[in-house]
Amino acid sequence: MSDNSYSAYYMTQGLHRSLQQCPQQIAATCAGRKLTYVELVESISRLANGFQSIGMAEGDRIAIMSLNSIEYVQTIFATWWGGGVINPVNIRWSATEVAYSLDDSESTILLVDDTFAPMVAELKTKKSIIKTVVYIGDGELPDGMIAFSDLVGSPPISDVMRRGDQLAAIMYTGGTTGFPKGVMLSHGNLFASAIGVVCENLVERGGHFMVASPLFHIAAVGCVLAQSLVAGTFVIVPAFRPDWVAKAIEQEKVTHTLLVPTMIQMLADFSDLDKFDLSSMKAMSYGASPMPAAVLTRAMEKFPKSSFIQAYGMTELSPVISILPAYYHSTEGQAKNKLRSAGRAVATVEVKIVDADGSDLPNGEVGEIAARGPGVMQGYWRREEETAKNMLPGGWFRTGDGAYIDEDGFIYVVDRMKDMIISGGENIFSAEVENALSQHPDIAANAVIGIPSDQWGESVHAVVIAKEGAQIVASEVIAFCKERIAGFKCPRSIEVVATLPLSGAGKILKTELRKPYWDGLDKSVS
């Protein structure tokens, strides 16, 4: 009888396979430093022992608050190798939010780099339960911390191979109570999503995948996992900056990446972009927020040799739900009129549209996306009631996204349900208005929200950033929109700002834009 004790998926599986098949392949590179798979796996096995030596027991949560780095990737895999659970901390949070997530998850070890080491003192004043702090920076070792290099100097240990339904990560996302909520993802959840990414060609065997999105975000983690399954190279950029990204593409011959639309816009608008050799780029994936048509057009012009792929998902789905392949971005594919869609469900996911009661809706009718498959989270950490509220019979998860599905199974996301504006009894989806605004020659970026209106209940309000040297005239912008969308959908007011509030993952924080208008009123702004 065969031994099935390791039959379930485990998230270090790709490392073992890549080590066997291409040990001398460059596994990770960052700021000139390079590690082969032999070196990476060796360091991970040593670091895992180091974590155990400072108190990590099986199932313990290990938190990391850092810019992207090789050490970050080592920490993720070493935590799993040694039997722990990763808790990547959002680097845009305040100390109060960080302390909440650490205490809520009961993380016992925290890793910090030079950028975030100064926050540790403040965290301690907030009664964080962290017992041990590990310093992964390049400067002098701060008092009371342990050096990352000492832990990597530990003897190597065998992989404990936590797997299947065993918890792999707690990834915190926005919560309705004002505090983030922890999404529990198992090894099986993450593996299923990684397989979906591989199947849809977001990574390729031996490819050079650039990690420029923050590693605390599930999309970046998911791509690293997928890349490890195909023996690829992680080209790690500490944080997104157009010049850093362009330099990395040129120097490391980057072939693939995943960026959010705001990052792609900044890259396409980077004045020195043409000075760099970008010819190695084969596929640029995008997701996390709607892609304005004008931005996509500019990006395709700047990267003429690259294909473009849209990925749609969320943390609770580990994260990939659907993919719009490169073909539908091509001239031939665009004739199929699918470019506005978020593609079709990946191989490991089923999708349907439901009404407010959870009943199925027919093709073409707008409702809420529900999804199921092996990537659906185990639940929200310590929030059984909220978990239950978002689940339907049969294992279906309610995403909170409004959409419809066409006769070919393509998903058209119209908006977050909470972002839908109801004005004069009409449902207005902000994404449609934003797409119209993005085509205006003087607007660099925009966000559309609903604000209180005595006459209409809500009215459409646009917050815009003007292109350098441009003057925004509200009446002209509104007239521009009326040429493209119905009049009732057009902004009734325009606000010009220098910057838009962004999350650490590069998403526009509409919650922050809504707060001044809805403070003290009934509409939720969470």
Cα atoms in the Cβ-side hemisphere of radius 13 Å centred on 382: 11
Higher pLDDT, 522 or 37: 37
Type of residue at 67: L
Question: What's the pLDDT at 174?
Answer: 61
- Domains of the chain, with CATH numbers? 13-309 (3.40.50.12780), 420-518 (3.30.300.30)
pLDDT mean over 412-436? 78
Residue 232 sits at the vertex; the CA angle it makes with 282 and 268, to the nearest 5 degrees, is: 35
Determine contact, residues 239/259, Cβ cutoff 8 Å: no
% of the chain with per-residue pLDDT over 90: 72
For residue 178, pLDDT over 60 is answered with no
Cα atoms in the Cβ-side hemisphere of radius 13 Å centred on 167: 20
Q: How far apart are CA 93 and CA 102, in angstroms?
A: 12
Q: For residue 7, what pLDDT band results from cuts at 50, 70 and 90?
A: low
Buried b (16+ CB within 10 A) or exposed e, 2-40: eeeeeebbbbbbbbeebbeebeebbbbbbeeeebbbeeb
Question: What's the pLDDT at 425?
Answer: 62
Helix, coil or strand: residue 63: strand
* 3-state SS track over 203-257: CCCCCEEEECCCCCCHHHHHHHHHHHHCCCEEEECCCCCHHHHHHHHHHHCCCEE
Encode pLDDT of 102-137 as tens digits.
999 999 999 999 999 999 998 988 867 788 999 999
Q: How far apart are CA 16 and CA 37, in angstroms?
A: 9
Encode pLDDT of 284-300 as tens digits.
999 876 677 788 999 99
Q: Which value, in Å, is the radius of gyration of the alpha carbons in the chain?
A: 23
Q: For residue 13, what pLDDT band results from cuts at 50, 70 and 90?
A: very high
Residue from 109, 112, 162, 103 nearest 138 by CA: 112
Residue from 387, 481, 492 nearest 176 by CA: 387
pLDDT mean over 173-199? 83
Determine contact, residues 286/310, Cβ cutoff 8 Å: yes
Question: What's the pLDDT at 2?
Answer: 40
Encode pLDDT of 255-281 as tens digits.
999 998 888 988 999 999 999 999 999
Encode pLDDT of 191-231 as tens digits.
999 998 999 889 999 999 999 999 999 999 999 999 999 99
For residue 1, pLDDT over 70 is answered with no
pLDDT mean over 156-166? 95
Q: How far apart are CA 182 and CA 169, in angstroms?
A: 9
